[in-house]
Every structure is written in structure tokens, then in C-alpha cells.
């Protein structure tokens, strides 16, 4: 589809930043963003020549103020802080520096300005502790997905679905959902896959619709992900740090969007989410990224979303069984139970090399082990 009027600037900015990556396939990006190559290349070159100012249809004054006096610098800092009330001194300085403001105080001085003008609650600093961070070395190797705790709106409840790239912290999706059903998640995720491609693996918690417990280790939703060639992982129960980056994203979302705001309906929520996601990906300096933005570290996946799923096939040497009712199949006289989510699909049984032990695979995912001893 062409650029939507409401989000035209957002689309241009995201497209332009992603197209600057050395590995970017601009024509593929044009296809995923639904624009003609001539339009895509035009915005790419305008952004390269003039930055964000080149993306607007109207003349824009440059953000330069040489000789600005200290009171005016304070006024500028406070103005940006009031627009982004959860940002501290380091983020504010990086954001202003990225927009051409060269004569700026240090982050600690900016923090002092905020304190002096009652923009910082002294008790907030005690809540934050350093985390030991781990990240995958490349974008799209792992996406984290979760629902932020739902909240009431004037007309019903909103269940925010969040999808985050582990390497870049790029927000791939921030969706205002009316429920947490598999159908809802599948529809939203399909749109994300169409735009950004497929990850190698996704990690999620143990809740609906991707439940992972002794009784429901797999669902129709996770089977769909496996058919797309996506590895599926689940965090340890009661260990939210497994998805620490997404949990941190939820804290930021709460602080910068949800706190103190009353939403009318899901459309109102989605509009606010879209505006903030644009700022988060393209403007907001991220401390874990050395004050770079997530968009500067992200590139779309080279694995496109298939509109039609291919058949499930296995190498000739595999012992293939079709899963029947109640999620069962027979192997060497044994009745093997996997999951009803695999009903009707073939699975592959492969010898482990150990006497009497066989692994059961669906696509590339190990889903069970048979012990004949």
C-alpha cells in the first residue's frame, strides 16, 4: 500500500534510516513498505543529503543556535525533557547533539538542571540498578515477544503486544490488542513478518497463546511459527529476566506513554503507541547501545515471509510418522504422545546414537524424546 497519510512522516523516517545500512536491499525495502522504487530512492537520497529535514514536504529551519546563552540552553533542555519525561541527562544530551546542538553542557550538568527545575524525583534513582547484558551479535537472530500487562480503557481493555529485536533493541511491533488469543497475535505478527522478514528464533514466556507446560508444551500458534522455519524457545517459569530486554522495554513504555494517561479505546492506544514507537526507534538514544538509536543497529531480515506455507518434508533417512488424534503416533510398538497441536502433521524420528534413545522432530525443532530402554 502507499504511504498512509496519518503516518507518512513515520514511514519515511523508518524507511530512510533502514535504507542507509550498507547491507540494505533498497528494492526489497520498497516492496515491504509498499512504495515504488523511485519514491524509496528519492527519500533515501534526501535523507542522506539533509537528514530528517530532507524528508519533509515543507521548508524547515535548521536546529542550530550558535552563541546560545545558558538560560536558553536550560530552556531547550527543559522543553525536550517535558516532551520525554522519562529521559535523563545522558539521553537528553545525546538527542540534542544528534540534532546539531554543539555547545551543550555535560550529562551531569543537564541532570542538575532537571533537579533544579523539579523535573526529577530524587527517589527514582534508587530504583535503577545495573544489569549484566548479553545480546546476539546480529539483528534477527532472536526476537523477544510478550504481552505487557493489560490495562483498562474507557471502552474495554488494551493488551499491548510487544516484539523486540535482541541485538538492536529495535521495536518491531507495539500492538494495541483487544485480547491475547492466538488468532489476534497471528494477524499482528503476520504484518510484522511482511515488513521486517522472519527471525531465526523467537523467545516468549509460558502464557497464552504460546503456553509451554507439562500439559500443553506446544500450541497451534507455535506450530505455525515452526512451519515458517522459526525456532521457538520459552523462558523459564517465574524468570522474566529470560526476556530482560522486552521487560525493560515494558518499563520504558509504562514510564513514557502509559503513566498518567487515560485512553478512550484501542484506536487511541494504537495512535499513541505508533507515535512513541517512532521516537523510540529513530530518536531516543539507548544507553545499552552507546547512546545510539535502535534503528541505527537494525536491518531487515533477508528471509521474506512466505504467503503460502510449503509442505512439511524430511530427509529420506528419517523415520516419518503422522500424528493422529490426541496427539499420538506409534513407533516400534510404542504409543508415543506429543501434542494435539501436531495432529495431522508428519514428524521425524531420528536415532540419537545412544542405545534405545530416539529424538522426535517437527521441521527443525526437537519436540520429544522416545526412550525404548
Question: What are φ and ψ of residue 51, in 5° steps?
Answer: 70, -150
Sheet holding 357-362, edge to edge: 319-322, 346-351, 357-362, 365-371
pLDDT mean over 323-338: 93
User: Got the DSSP string for 59-126?
Assistant: -------TT--HHHHHHHHHHHHHHSTT--HHHHHHHHHHTT--S---HHHHHHHHHHTT-S-TTTGG
> Residue 151: what pLDDT?
92
Out of 128-132, 174-178, 202-206, 257-261, pick the least confident. 128-132
- Enclosing H/E stretch for 225: helix 220-227
pLDDT mean over 149-173: 93
**Percent of the chain whose pLDDT exceeds 90:** 45
pTM: 0.73
271 pLDDT band, cuts 50/70/90, is very high
Question: Which comes out higher in pLDDT, residue 127 or 108?
Answer: 108
pLDDT tens-digit map of 176-228: 999 999 899 999 999 999 999 999 999 887 666 665 544 556 888 989 999 99
The Cβ-side half-sphere exposure at 321, using a 13 Å CA radius, reads 21
Indicate the length of the chain as a whole number: 373
The Cβ-side half-sphere exposure at 105, using a 13 Å CA radius, reads 20
Alpha carbon distance 236, 342 (integer Å):
23
- Enclosing H/E stretch for 172: strand 171-177
> Residue 235: what pLDDT?
62
Averaged pLDDT of the chain: 84
Is 67's pLDDT higher than 50? no
Domain spanning 143-297, CATH architecture: 2-Layer Sandwich (3.30)
pLDDT tens-digit map of 69-95: 368 888 888 888 888 877 888 888 888
Residue 28 neighbours by CB distance under 10 Å: 13
- Cell numbers 517465574 correspond to what residue? 238
Cell readout for 234 is 520459552
Alpha carbon distance 140, 128 (integer Å):
28
Cell readout for 47 is 535523507
Amino acid at each position: 500500500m502507499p504511504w498512509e497519510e496519518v503516518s507518512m512522516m513515520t514511514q519515511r523516517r523508518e524507511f530512510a534510516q533502514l535504507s542507509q545500512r550498507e547491507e540494505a536491499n533498497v528494492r526489497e525495502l520498497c516492496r515491504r513498505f509498499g512504495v515504488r522504487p523511485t519514491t524509496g530512492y528519492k527519500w533515501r537520497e534526501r535523507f542522506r543529503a539533509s537528514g530528517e529535514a530532507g524528508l519533509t514536504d515543507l521548508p524547515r529551519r535548521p536546529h542550530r543556535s550558535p552563541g546560545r546563552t545558558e538560560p536558553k540552553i536550560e530552556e531547550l533542555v527543559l522543553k525536550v525533557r517535558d516532551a520525554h519525561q522519562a529521559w535523563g541527562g545522558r539521553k537528553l544530551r545525546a538527542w540534542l547533539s544528534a540534532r546539531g546542538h554543539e555547545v551543550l553542557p555535560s550529562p551531569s550538568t543537564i541532570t542538575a538542571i532537571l533537579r533544579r527545575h523539579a523535573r526529577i524525583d530524587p527517589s527514582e534513582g534508587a530504583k535503577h540498578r545495573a544489569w549484566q547484558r548479553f545480546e546476539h551479535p546480529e539483528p534477527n537472530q532472536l526476537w523477544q515477544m510478550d504481552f505487557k500487562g493489560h490495562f483498562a480503557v474507557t471502552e474495554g481493555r488494551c493488551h499491548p503486544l510487544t516484539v523486540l529485536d535482541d541485538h538492536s533493541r529495535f521495536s518491531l511491533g507495539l500492538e494495541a490488542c483487544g485480547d491475547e488469543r492466538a488468532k489476534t497475535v497471528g494477524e499482528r505478527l503476520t504484518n510484522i513478518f511482511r515488513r521486517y522478514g522472519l527471525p531465526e528464533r523467537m523467545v516468549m514466556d509460558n502464557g497464552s497463546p504460546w503456553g509451554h507446560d507439562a500439559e500443553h508444551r506446544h500450541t497451534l500458534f507455535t506450530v505455525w511459527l515452526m512451519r515458517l522455519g522459526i525456532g521457538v524457545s520459552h523462558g523459564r517459569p517465574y524468570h522474566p529476566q529470560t526476556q530482560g530486554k522486552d521487560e525493560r522495554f515494558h518499563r520504558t513504555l509504562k514510564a513514557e506513554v502509559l503513566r498518567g494517561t487515560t485512553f478512550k479505546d484501542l484506536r487511541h492506544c494504537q495512535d499513541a503507541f505508533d507515535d512513541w514507537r517512532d521516537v523510540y526507534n529513530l530518536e531516543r538514544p539507548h544507553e545499552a547501545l552507546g547512546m545510539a538509536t535502535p534503528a541505527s543497529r537494525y536491518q531487515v531480515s533477508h528471509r521474506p515471509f512466505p504467503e503460502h506455507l510449503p509442505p512439511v518434508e524430511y530427509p529420506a533417512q528419517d523415520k516419518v510418522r503422522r500424528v493422529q488424534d490426541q496427539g499420538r503416533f506409534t513407533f516400534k510398538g510404542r504409543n508415543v504422545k506429543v501434542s494435539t497441536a501436531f495432529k495431522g502433521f508428519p514428524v521425524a524420528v531420528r536415532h540419537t546414537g545412544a542405545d534405545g534413545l530416539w529424538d522426535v522432530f517437527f521441521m527443525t525443532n526437537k519436540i520429544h524424546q522416545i526412550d525404548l530402554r
